[in-house]
Amino acid sequence: MPGFEFHGLTASFNGERVIGPLSLHIQEGEHVALVGKSGAGKSTLITLMYEQMQRQAALVPQALGLVNALPVFHNVFMGRLDRHSAWYNAWSLVRPFAKDREAVAALLDELDMPRKQWTPAASLSGGQRQRVAIARAIYRQASILLADEPVSALDGPMAHQVMSMLVNRYDTSVIALHDVDMARTYCDRIIGLQDGQVALDEPASQVDPRAIMALY
């Protein structure tokens, strides 16, 4: 079956098991929502999956991972650093190529951040910073998106706009979401975590909302 296999994922913190061992198969073309209360293991699972995939995946971490001293352009451009040679990246730090400037500008326009390309990341609002991290992930053009609460700092309309953009840009995704309604709207499979284990795994169209709420 085509897709992405994750076997025996496990993690401990201060000697205490926080997730796993668990295994997952993510099918190609599937949008998966990870749900569960805070501390259930969603962020840890996203991290473990990314550690296994690396070059195949684009990541939107909850902490965002922006470099405050750099402008928005370079924070987005970092999504493809490993696709270019050292000289290309060094030159882009000083004088970015037109094709890269245009590609980043187009993404920022889609995310309602026009004219922010050369704004230092440190001066952005929380919602803008989140959108820069999302632009970086989309710019990477990887096989799968792994995102940890990617719309938590966005208001309703913008959150829906960004979620729609993510599922349209990526054929396959695993997205940790606190908002259950958004998970059911934009994802076709719901995986619920409880105490570091899979407690629910159902198609979004068939899952009982009461079963999701029981996780909380």
Sign of torsion, CA 137 138 140 141? positive
CATH of the domain at 132: 3.40.50.300
Q: What is the DSSP string of 30-91?
A: -EEEEE--TTSSHHHHHHHHHHHHGGGEEEE-TT----TTSBHHHHHHGGGGGGS-HHHHHH
β-bridge mates for residue 19, sequence order = 11
- The pLDDT tens digits of the residues spanning 68-92 come to 999 999 999 999 998 899 999 999 9
Burial status of residue 100 (CB atoms within 10 A of its CB: 0-12, 13-18, 19 or more): middle
Closest listed residue to residue 178, CA positions, set 62, 66, 64? 62
The whole-number pLDDT of residue 165 equals 94
The whole-number pLDDT of residue 208 equals 86
2 has pLDDT over 80: no
94 has pLDDT over 80: yes
Closest listed residue to residue 40, CA positions, set 62, 15, 12, 19? 19
β-bridge mates for residue 22, sequence order = 9
Q: Quote the domain boundaries for residue 36.
A: 3-213
The whole-number pLDDT of residue 69 equals 94
Return mean pLDDT, the chain: 93
1 has pLDDT over 70: no
The whole-number pLDDT of residue 78 equals 95
β-bridge mates for residue 32, sequence order = 174, 189
CA 171 to chain centre: 13
CA distances from 154 to 43, 94, 131 (A): 19, 32, 9
Cα-flanking dihedrals φ and ψ of residue 119, to 5°?
A: -80, 130
Question: How confident is the model over 182-204, as a mean pLDDT?
Answer: 94
- The pLDDT tens digits of the residues spanning 101-138 come to 999 999 999 999 999 999 999 999 999 999 999 999 99
- The pLDDT tens digits of the residues spanning 18-49 come to 888 999 999 999 999 999 998 889 999 999 99
Which residues does 88 contact at the CB level (< 8 Å), separation at least 6?
Answer: none
Q: How many domains is the chain built from?
A: 1
| Predicted confidence band of residue 55 (pLDDT cuts 50, 70, 90) | confident
